[in-house]
A and B are shown apart, each in its own frame.
Chain A
Amino acid sequence: MRLLRASKGNYQFHLGQREKHVFCELLGLYPCIPPAHQPLSKNGKVPDGELNQHLLDEALAEQRADNQNQLKVFLSDPLRLVPIQKEHDRGFRLTLSPAELEWLLQILNDIRVGSWLRLGSPEEPRLVLDAATMPHVWAMEASGHFQMQLLAAVGEDRDPPSL
């Protein structure tokens, strides 16, 4: 995946054939983070703690359901990943609005963090690779790869350093 251009509020990326396949397979894994995974507070000193925790879990669950629906539309849209018909380029062009790019970052990070959780939240990046861990390591690394490309594209529009 590489940025072709960022202009007029749109980002255009190039994906090779295999990359496109990996991209779609990866997005099909969403959601990976289990529901009601994070506490609202560590020390629990929040008024109506149980109720507020329930409301947070519910809001995140709604968000997850919305994302799943949006993802179905995204992956089935024939204009989303357009084949490039050039002699030496059989890749695909992916066009994203800034809002879609932000959304995709969230989706990819859910897959990355969720895969890490399924690996047992290891502190060390070095893992024993076997049949059980390999799918999660693959998902973690692949989502990380796409995330970095998207973040680099956003960096093109980064605000200037303050003095």
Chain B
Amino acid sequence: MAEIATPEVRPGKVETVEDKPELTLEPGYLVICWNDPVNFMDYVTHVFQRVFGWARVKAELHMLQVHEQGKSVLTREGLEKAEHYVHQLQKHSLHATMERDE
């Protein structure tokens, strides 16, 4: 059985906010799919389902957003994962990019 460690308290040491790791400072990237007049709506829906594992209803909502509003933000991720998704979408010949979330 693992022992429960007792936290060591040193006198004079005050933990401040600055001491904590900067977990929230990594910038996020938006993975965006842009409209074009060549990709079929059914195909775009299908690719969203395959790449993100979404149910058809969710994939269709994003596809319609692309079609009607010119673009859809598909997800917000860290750098590497956003790059991965852009690669997957471009591999399927969709017009997709990643933009820093500011």
Identity of the chain B residue whose Cβ is nearest the Cβ of A45 in the assembled complex: B100
| Contact of B97 with A by CB under 8 A | yes
| Contact of A8 with B by CB under 8 A | no
* Chain A residues whose CB sits within 8 angstroms of the CB of B42 once the complex forms: 148, 151, 155
* Chain A residues whose CB sits within 8 angstroms of the CB of B83 once the complex forms: 40, 52, 55-56
Which residue from B39, B55, B79, B87 sits with its C-beta under 8 Å from A46? B79
Are the CB atoms of B92 and A106 closer together than 8 Å?
A: yes
Interchain CA distance A63-B92 in the complex, whole Å: 11
> Given A144-B40, A154-B46, A158-B56: A42 and B99 within 8 A (CB)?
yes
Contacting residues of chain B (34-89) with chain A, CB-CB under 8 angstroms: 36-40, 42-43, 46, 50, 55-57, 79, 83, 86-87
* Chain A residues whose CB sits within 8 angstroms of the CB of B96 once the complex forms: 38
Interchain CA distance A42-B29 in the complex, whole Å: 12
* Chain B residues whose CB sits within 8 angstroms of the CB of A52 once the complex forms: 83
* Chain A residues whose CB sits within 8 angstroms of the CB of B93 once the complex forms: 33, 106, 109-110, 112-114
Are the CB atoms of A161 and B56 closer together than 8 Å?
A: yes
| Contact of B91 with A by CB under 8 A | yes
Which residue from B55, B56, B97 sits with its C-beta under 8 Å from A42? B97
How many residues of chain A have a CB within 8 Å of chain B?
41
* Chain B residues whose CB sits within 8 angstroms of the CB of A102 once the complex forms: 50
Which residue from A45, A123, A159 sits with its C-beta under 8 Å from B56? A159
Can you give 26 contacting A-B residue pairs, CB < 8 Å?
A38-B90, A38-B95, A39-B97, A40-B98, A41-B100, A43-B99, A43-B100, A45-B99, A45-B100, A46-B100, A47-B79, A56-B86, A56-B87, A105-B43, A105-B92, A106-B93, A109-B39, A110-B93, A113-B36, A113-B93, A123-B37, A125-B37, A140-B38, A151-B42, A151-B46, A154-B46
| Nearest 8 Cβ contacts at the A-B interface | A45-B100, A116-B38, A113-B93, A109-B93, A151-B42, A42-B97, A38-B90, A41-B97
| Residues in A lying within 8 Å of B, measured CB to CB | 33, 38-43, 45-47, 52, 55-56, 59-60, 63, 102, 105-106, 109-110, 112-114, 116, 121-125, 140, 144, 147-148, 151, 154-155, 158-159, 161-162
Q: A40-B97, A59-B87 are in contact. List 14 more A-B contacts (CB 8 A).
A: A40-B86, A41-B100, A46-B29, A46-B100, A47-B79, A52-B83, A60-B87, A105-B43, A109-B43, A114-B93, A148-B40, A151-B40, A158-B56, A161-B56
